Amino acid sequence: MVTISNTTLPPEYFGSGRTLDTITGVDKTREILFSISIVLCIALVWLSARPKLKVPILLSDTIKSKKQRVHEYAVRSRELMSQGYREFPNQVFGIDTKDGTKVVIPLSFLDNLKSHPHLSFKACIDNVSIDQPSAINTMLTLDQDMLLEYTLLGGPPEYVIHAIRGSLTPSLPQYIPILHRMIKSTQIKTLGTYKDWTPVEIYNSVLQVVGPCSARAFHGDIPSQNPEWLEVTTGYVVTVFDSIKALKKWPPYLRPIANRLLPYRAKIDHQWAKARKILAASLKQKASLGGKAINEPPSLFDHLTSEKSPASKESIDKQLIYQMTLVAVGTMSTFSTVVQCIYDLAGFPDFIAGLREEALSCPRDEDGLFDKDSLNSLKKLDSFIKESLRLSSGDLTTFHRAATADLTLPDGTFIPKGTKIETNTCAIHADNTKFENATSFDGLRFYKYRQKPAQEHKHTLVAVTPNDLAFGFGKHACPGRYFSQIVIKIFLAEFLINYDVKCLPGQSRPKNLEFEAMVDPDPEAKVMLKSINTHS
């Protein structure tokens, strides 16, 4: 066998500046590129052979450019969802977004699909690919609602959901007086005292009151009083959703670059690093107690570090993911609902007197704190919050699912694996055939429904029905809504007792900020506040 080296062949054989090693390197590179090309070709052939999604696309008749349709959805999504509801009554249709085509299903499909084994809520929220060829995993991913790859925020695993439903939720009656004491002690300090009518920006103040409540239930008593933990978690709530909104303005293939240019990822990394240290201390404390609960009633952290959760009880990485995910989703939905309700109180002040009277007269325990009976008696407030959610919930769409396998909808529409579906919640909630004067705010709408025979429990805030979709539908309806409604009711009851509120002179209710399907209360909006001097 003859070995060829650079010394056995003249330099002019290779050309100026070239050697056998460089030529070999080039050949290897060509081989790699050729192999990648073959894999891509196979993948593309495989894709072209698969059945494709065939649904009518909203705006395709009037706007031929997909890029323009994507832009229209981003800036006037509520209007387009209403248009789709009218143009495709009880039909499936698609809508083009930066993350691909979303399939909007009619309300009539929900019962049939709510427990479908091949529709996943978690896969829809996370940034995952579902068994696509590895060479094109980065090309074909699901619609990334939370942009997990960049924000670290994804859907919690099933056993965390089970811990919320099976362990935390049954203990919530014990939490009510604890949360009431927390809110009573911080609300006036945080929102301020105003002898005369004063314009106040309430968004961040509400977050500072709600944040410790979430920390107590999710992590524990000590973290709920730890300024560093509260700074990290409430900061993450704001940062992660700012990051999502900023990144969704970029097409998916440019998001890795945008993520490096935007300031949010550095903030998120810093927040997670600080949170990790605090959680390490909590795990150490739990170990020192021999695995017993740190808190009474136990926090979700206690449940997820108990013997019932062997896979995660000692894993700081898993506990970090659980805490940051839950604090972001749970706190954001709770405090934004409180802000929306205060904006609605300012915009529709005729409801204030009745709600305040109810809050003042509701039963309390021997310490003057709310208990389960107290919250159950706040039926008008329950209705007011539900009405606020009907018109200003955090999502224009719900029942978010991703197909983990090819499937067929009840009308015969083929849904390829990886497709995201959702239902048109904002249009359903504005349908006059389902709600009288549907686009008008009636804070006692659901209170009046509950006065009818056999309707007492059907129209409560936490009830989930095909017409009441603010908390989702089916087995993936928000599991934290029972905790959230406690915090919202206590905050608003105390607020009604402590403050008068109205809109700024000459202005109406602050408008919501909407981008794609996301709805947020305006963080910079102000309302007029005036303290009430006598309160119990």
- Alpha helices for 192-263 (secondary structure H): 203-218, 221-224, 227-247, 255-261
Residue 122 CB coordination number (10 Å) = 17
362 is in an annotated binding site: no
Nearest to 515 by CA among 302, 328, 248, 319: 248
Hey, how many other C-beta atoms are within 10 angstroms of the C-beta on 139?
15
One DSSP character per residue, 471-531 reads: T--GGGS-TTHHHHHHHHHHHHHHHHHHEEEEPPTT--SPPEEEETTEEEE-TT-EEEEEE
Our CA angle for 106, 71, 340, nearest 5°, is: 65
Q: Which amino acid is at 472?
A: G
Among the listed residues 307, 391, 382, 377, the one whose alpha carbon sits nearest the alpha carbon of residue 351: 382
Please report where in the chains the tokens 């006598």 appear, as a residue: 534
Residue 512 makes CB contacts below 8 A (sequence gap 6+) with 340, 392, 519, 520, 521, 522
88 burial via Cβ count (<10 Å: 0-12, 13-18, 19+): middle
User: What's the rounded Cα separation, in Å, for the pair 253 and 208?
Assistant: 36
Burial class (CB in 10 A: 0-12, 13-18, 19+), 290: exposed
User: How many residues belong to the chain?
Assistant: 536
Angle ∠(329,335,341) on CA atoms, nearest 5? 130
The 3-state DSSP class for residue 104 equals strand
- Cis-peptide, bond into residue 297, ω within 30° of zero: yes
Helices (H) and strands (E) in the chain, counts: 21, 12
3-state helix/strand/coil string of 349-395: HHHHHHHHHHHHHCCCCCCCCCCHHHHHHCHHHHHHHHHHHHHHCCE
484 touches 326 (CB < 8 A): no
Backbone angles phi, psi at 207, to 5 degrees: -60, -40
Binding residues for heme: 478
Binding site members: 478
